[in-house]
Structure 1
Amino acid sequence: MLPAPSWKWAGLVITDEAGNYRAVMPIPLRKKRVFGIPYSWVVHQPFFCQFLGVFSPDKTLDPTPFIRLMQQYFRYGSRFCIHQSSGVIEPFAFERVDTKATQVLNLSLGYDALYQRYSRDRKQNLKRALAANWAIIESTDSEPLIMLFQANNTDGIDGGVANWAYDILRNLVAELGRRNLMTLHYACRNGRIEARALFVYEGNRIIYLFNAASDVGRRGNARTLLIDQMIQKKAGMELVFDFESPEKVSIREFYQSFGALEEPFYELRWSRLNAVERIGRAVMNWLR
């Protein structure tokens, strides 16, 4: 079993004359290891975080200097994802720049307009879910969420899921709960939890961060109901519903059946390692 990775955060900050923050770009760092010996902090996108960017109330702020400085200061970026609104990425400054996409809904349209964009199958499955009389429970307890995922969703993940990844999720849910930045809903039948959905609030976004369902939950379209209820609750507000889409085609098509549209973001990689560090990286890749 792989050991838990070492993580820490850095940040680039602009302050005003009084020392108040005007803009911040968080930078996640992970310590790479060779034969169990840590050798370097590298920029690496953390779990349960689709993309980052420059956070500022000033929407006219140019984020390009942040991106340049990060790439100049940290010599190796194994993976850093940034929202496209953060500006134009200069490909020549990076080893790789890949354009990815998430799926989003503009909730300001109102529920009637959003529902009309559901696919025919999605509308039919929603009707079936409503007829199934699911009991929907709001909770702050992440353990049923994790247990449901372990029992029903890990088989399709290459290499499985390490225990430390669940610890990260537990800590994340606890902290989000303390800050009132999440909603966790369970769908129950006959006293058993058969599906769950974790929604996280960030700025004007509602992020469908984590979900799982048993066979009963999938056949009963419980996740369709959980998503639709959140859309109904927030429809008409100046919010974006972000499905945080993976690259798996079947899942992306499921989200698109709610009328979701693609929203791009960038995945950046770069390297200015010295000879010894390049050897260490090659050894790590070979050991995998």
Structure 2
Amino acid sequence: MGIVLVDDTGQYQAVMPVPLRRKWVAGIPYTWVVHQPFFCQFLAIFSLDTRLDTRPFFQLLTDSFSYGAIYTICHPAHELNGFDTVRQSSTHVLRLASDYKTVYSQYSRDRKTNVHRAEAANWILVDSSDPEPLLELFRLHHAWLMDGGVPDWAYDILRNLSHELIQRNCGHIRYAVRDGHIEAGTLFAQEGGRIIYLFNAASQAGRKGNARTILIDRMIQDNTEGRQDGTSWLFDFESPDKPSVRNFYQRFGAIEQSFQSVRWNRLHKFEQVAIGLRNCVKGSINRLILAIGKVTF
């Protein structure tokens, strides 16, 4: 769903995407709430009008939907009034200059060293439209690190997203191959002057051989020297909150760019009590299952 501003002729002037999720109470579908989808870092109000008044969009958002579990948006915090919670987050971005040497000069010394090591490792980089090797790499080498594991539906979402991005010419999958084996892979999304490092995975051999470093570096190189239109793009590392990962991205010369996460709750007391009871029952069931598991095993 989205909120759209049109002119007198019906032409779109601005669009605000509104991702929704059905909220359930006692197994019954109850109401739609605003909830950021997986693999979507942040949204925005899209318009060519740089002087657009955004306040009516946010007012209509909270008037139309009484509950926002999470909505992340690239917007100044001081303009986000009317929400219960506004939390600042950040990603790391690298401005891609018109020549690769300028971008490379911003790499830290150890990042340059790792690029050279990766080049010496004789990786073969292969473009693909098939996300399955990437998903399998993650399943084998990363999923077990996630608390509670990774459900099958999460892989389905990423699989469908990959196919849609590639079909719309907005996605790029690339693998690092050595001795006939895929050891690392990346999924990039490209649109609106931004290249997003959306998803990645690597085996032990891939990590040891700096395969992801060379995959990132080559994507950066492709979009500096290879860009003929003279436009300057941003490379978005889509940084998580983990300090070690953020530090890894900063060593490419990336700088922080902030965005906001907002939440609100306009549910009536009865609705809040019903949802609270549901969460309480759900928590009790989970604790019971955990207790049974301890007894059984």
Above 0.5 in TM-score?
Answer: yes
Residue 113 of structure 2 corresponds to residue 124 of structure 1: yes
**1:50 aligned residue:** 41
What one-letter code is carried by the residue in structure 2 that aligns with 1:13?
Answer: V
Residue 238 of structure 2 corresponds to residue 247 of structure 1: no
Per-residue CA deviations over 1:121-153 (Å, capped at 9, x if unaligned) read 111111000000101000010111111111111
Q: Choose 218-227 or 49-58, whichever is displaced more.
A: 49-58
Q: CA deviation at 1:27?
A: 0.2
Identical aligned residues as a percent: 52
What one-letter code is carried by the residue in structure 1 that aligns with 2:242?
Answer: K
**1:5 aligned residue:** none
**Equivalent of residue 110 in structure 1, options 84, 96, 99:** 99
In the alignment, structure 2 segments of 5+ residues that lack a partner are 226-230, 284-297
Q: Secondary structure at the match of 1:84?
A: coil
Residue 180 of structure 2 corresponds to residue 229 of structure 1: no
1:135–1:188 contact (8 Å) kept in structure 2 = yes
What one-letter code is carried by the residue in structure 2 that aligns with 1:260?
Answer: A
Per-residue CA deviations over 1:95-135 (Å, capped at 9, x if unaligned) read 21100000001113632222111111111111000000101
Distance 1:250 1:284 in 2: 37
**2:260 aligned residue:** 266
Q: CA deviation at 1:209?
A: 0.4
**2:158 aligned residue:** 169
**1:70 aligned residue:** 61
1:64–1:86 contact (8 Å) kept in structure 2 = no
**1:84 aligned residue:** 75
Q: CA deviation at 1:33?
A: 2.1
2:173–2:187 contact (8 Å) kept in structure 1 = yes
The normalised TM-score by structure 2 is: 0.89
Distance 1:194 1:87 in 2: 45
**2:205 aligned residue:** 216
What one-letter code is carried by the residue in structure 1 that aligns with 2:277?
Answer: V
- Judging changes above 3 Å, is the alpha-carbon distance between structure 1 residues 232 and 263 closer, same or farther for their aligned structure 2 residues? same
Distance 2:11 2:209 in 1: 51
Q: Choose 10-19 or 239-248, whichever is displaced more.
A: 10-19
1:117–1:259 contact (8 Å) kept in structure 2 = yes
4+ aligned runs moved over 6 Å, structure 1: none
2:77–2:260 contact (8 Å) kept in structure 1 = no
Q: Choose 119-128 or 262-271, whichever is displaced more.
A: 119-128
What one-letter code is carried by the residue in structure 2 that aligns with 1:262?
Answer: E
- Judging changes above 3 Å, is the alpha-carbon distance between structure 1 residues 106 and 146 closer, same or farther for their aligned structure 2 residues? same
What one-letter code is carried by the residue in structure 2 that aligns with 1:212?
Answer: A
What one-letter code is carried by the residue in structure 2 that aligns with 1:65?
Answer: P
Distance 1:235 1:86 in 2: 32
**1:137 aligned residue:** 126
Aligned positions, number? 277
Q: What root-mean-square deviation, in Å, do the aligned CA atoms of Structure 1 and Structure 2 show?
A: 1.6
**2:277 aligned residue:** 283
What one-letter code is carried by the residue in structure 2 that aligns with 1:52?
Answer: L
1:50–1:244 contact (8 Å) kept in structure 2 = yes
| Structure with the greater alpha carbon radius of gyration | 2
Per-residue CA deviations over 1:2-45 (Å, capped at 9, x if unaligned) read xxxxxxxx210011222121111010000122343222211000
Q: CA deviation at 1:280?
A: 3.0
2:72–2:260 contact (8 Å) kept in structure 1 = yes
**Equivalent of residue 23 in structure 2, options 32, 36, 41:** 32
The normalised TM-score by structure 1 is: 0.92
What one-letter code is carried by the residue in structure 1 that aligns with 2:208?
Answer: R
Q: Secondary structure at the match of 1:196?
A: strand
